[in-house]
């Protein structure tokens, strides 16, 4: 499931917005740029676990 599908599921009421939903995006993200554009949910980091943690993504 992509981030875009998750957004649509939230909007349709299929997912409860009061609950935590975890999306594990294991691809390159090129398919999901539209879904997160302008939301502030993006981060550009170096490809390392340390950078991931420093960005508050862990």
Q: Which domain covers residue 43, as residue numbers?
A: 3-54
Q: Note the pTM of the prediction, 2 decimals.
A: 0.42
Whether the per-residue pLDDT at 45 is higher than 90: the answer is: no
For residue 36, the model assigns a pLDDT of 66
Q: What is the pLDDT of residues 8-26, one digit of tens each?
A: 899 999 999 999 888 877 7
> Could you give the angle at the alpha carbon of 43 between the alpha carbons of 39 and 48, nearest 5°?
160
19-32: buried (b, 16+ CB within 10 Å) or exposed (e) per residue? Answer: eeeeeeeeeeeeeb
pLDDT at 19: 92
| pLDDT in the model for residue 12 | 95
Q: How many domains does the chain have?
A: 1
């Amino acid at each position: 499931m992509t981030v875009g599908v998750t957004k649509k599921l939230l909007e349709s009421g299929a997912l409860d917005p009061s609950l935590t939903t975890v999306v594990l995006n294991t691809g390159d993200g090129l398919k999901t740029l539209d879904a997160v554009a302008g939301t502030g949910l993006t981060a550009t980091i170096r490809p390392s676990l340390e950078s991931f943690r420093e960005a508050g993504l862990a």
